[in-house]
Amino acid sequence: MNHFLSINDVTDLSQLISSGISAKRNPFGDIELGKNKTIGLLFFNSSLRTRISTQKAAQNLGLNVITMNVGQDGWGLEMEEGVIMNGDKAEHVKEAAAVIGSYCDIIGIRSFAGLQDREKDYSEQVFQQFKKYAEVPIVNLESATRHPLQSLADCITIEEFKIKQRPKVVLTWLPHFKALPQAVANSFCEWMNPMDVELVITHPEGYDLAPEFVGKGQVIYDQNKALEGADFVYGKNWSSYQHYGQVLTDDPSWMITEAKMALTDNGKFMHCLPLRRNMKVADEVLDGPRSLVIEEAANREWSAQAVLREILLGMQ
Ligand code: SN0
């Protein structure tokens, strides 16, 4: 593996999942792999799990880690080519990426969707520019359209907790008053497509995800019907793709409660976190035995370790 921007960079998904599970059993088995190498983690947006789990995974592999909140501490970065830089951005990505690439052997980047301009967000300009100018492998720590390290942790969690060969996995939209990106939901669908699961997606009308992410997922607009017989309920809020970046509704009846979970086949609840209690999901679900949110977050370390290991092996 060279870059890790989406599932398209993965050659063998089941092997990558197994590698994550092996890392969990033996975290320091590959501690020599990253020796004398450095990973730079660049954050244009807030982070808790991604930042700590990726740093931990990198250290388990013997890598040196440098983390920077580039969005706050760095110079404003110009991403467009050929512009007159007379605005608020002091540095061009051409220099910034090349310089960081000269210090680091791998660069991880978090840069969320702006949710103003769909074409721009879906072009993944920040990642394309870093890929072009840094000349080292780039790792997606959540881009405008995807969050693949989260999705790999989700695959690992489903593998660990499934009790049927082909579980029913329901991605449900949750209410939120703020406009959030489609990245986690897009990515989850993209990674569930090659898995041996029945994928159902439920959301209010107007919240359809881009068809290239939905794939074989079956869309059912009636949440109660979608939840019937589910083994895993994966909650997430996202803003509209069609009416780009808009909040069309925050209908509280979409919140996940015990009554909703009672429609499932003793289903487990998953969410990438952070989440707002009693708006998206009721305390009774999060504090009860159905919730896998902590186990899922813990698996972020192993998904990051599986990916970084693969990149380091490719450098040998
Ligand atoms: C981000 C998102 O993509 O939805 C990160 C998820 C890993 N979530 C948020 O920005 C939540 C913000 C909030 O105010 O609830």
**Domain CATH for 27:** 3.40.50.1370
Residue 217 is classified by DSSP as P
Interhelix angle 148-161/183-192, rounded to 10 degrees, is 50
From residue 212, how far is each of 107, 186, 234 by CA, in Å?
A: 27, 9, 19
Q: What integer is the mean pLDDT of 88-107? A: 98
Q: Kindly report the length of the chain.
A: 316
Q: Are residues 221 and 264 in the same domain?
A: yes
Distance of CA 274 from the midpoint of ligand 1 (Å): 6
Considering the chain, what percentage of its residues have pLDDT values greater than 90?
99
| 245-260 average pLDDT score | 98
Q: Which helix (H) or strand (E) holds 39?
A: strand 38-43
Cis geometry, peptide bond prior to residue 274 (ω within 30 degrees of 0): yes
Please report which confidence band the pLDDT of residue 179 belongs to, taking 50, 70 and 90 as the band edges: very high
Residue 169 lies in a domain: yes
Task: Give yes or no for residue 185 having a pLDDT over 90.
Answer: yes
Range of the domain at 242: 150-296
Same domain flag for 292 and 305:
no
Same domain, 225 and 140: no
**In the prediction, which pLDDT does 246 show?**
98
Asked whether the predicted pLDDT for residue 53 surpasses 90, the reply is: yes
Contact between 42 and 100 (Cβ < 8 Å): yes
The phi, psi pair for 260, rounded to 5°, reads -70, -45
32 pLDDT band, cuts 50/70/90, is: very high
Given a cut of 90, whether residue 103 has pLDDT beyond it is yes
Phi, psi of 168 (to 5 degrees): -90, 120
- Are the C-beta atoms of residues 276 and 253 closer than 8 Å to each other? no
> Would the pTM count as exceeding 0.75?
yes
Same domain? 20 vs 114: yes
Using CA atoms, how far apart are residues 73 and 69, in angstroms rounded to an integer? 6
Q: What is the pLDDT of residue 252?
A: 97
Alpha-carbon 141 to chain mean position: 7
- Tell whether ligand 1 has an atom less than 6 A from the beta carbon of residue 277: no
Q: Is residue 212 part of a domain?
A: yes
Statement to judge: residues 291 and 198 lie in one domain: yes
Same domain, 202 and 104: no
Calculate how far, in angstroms, residue 247's C-alpha sits from the geometric centre of ligand 1. Answer: 14
- Is residue 271 one of the residues assigned to a domain? yes
Rounded-to-integer distance, Cα 159 and Cα 214, Å: 21
Section 143-155 average pLDDT: 98
Q: Are residues 61 and 131 in the same domain?
A: yes
Q: Can you tell me the distance from the alpha carbon of 64 to that of 36, in angstroms, rounded to the nearest whole number?
A: 7
What is the total count of domains within the chain? 2
Closest Cα to atom 14, ligand 1: which residue? 178
Ligand 1 touching residue 183 (CB < 6 A): yes
Question: Which pLDDT does position 71 carry in this prediction?
Answer: 87
Judgement on whether residues 130 and 180 belong to the same structural domain of the protein: no
Together in a domain, 110 and 68: yes
Structure token digits, residue 145: 């359209």
Is the distance from the beta carbon of residue 272 to the nearest atom of ligand 1 less than 6 Å?
yes
My answer on whether 311 and 275 are in the same domain is no
Residue 270: predicted pLDDT: 99
In a domain, 2, yes or no: no
Question: How many angstroms separate the CA atoms of 158 and 144, rounded?
Answer: 25
116 belongs to a structural domain = yes
**For ligand 1, is residue 177 a contact (CB within 6 Å)?**
no
Q: Is residue 16 one of the residues assigned to a domain?
A: yes
Task: Write the pLDDT tens digit of every residue in 224-242.
Answer: 999 999 999 999 999 999 9
Helix, strand, or coil (residue 91): strand
In a domain, 1, yes or no: no
Ligand 1 within 6 A of 276 CB?
A: yes
**Contact 297 CB / ligand 1 (< 6 Å):** no
Question: 182 CA to middle of ligand 1, Å?
Answer: 10
Pairing between strand 198-202 and 168-173? parallel
Residue 49 lies in a domain: yes
CA 213 to chain centre: 13
Q: Which atom of ligand 1 is nearest to the CA of 237?
A: 4
Distance from the CA of 46 to the center of ligand 1, in angstroms? 9
For the segment 129-155, the average pLDDT, to the nearest whole number, is 98
Mean pLDDT of 51-79: 97
Q: Does the C-beta of 113 come closer than 6 Å to ligand 1?
A: no
Residues 49 and 164 in one domain: no
Same domain, 80 and 119: yes
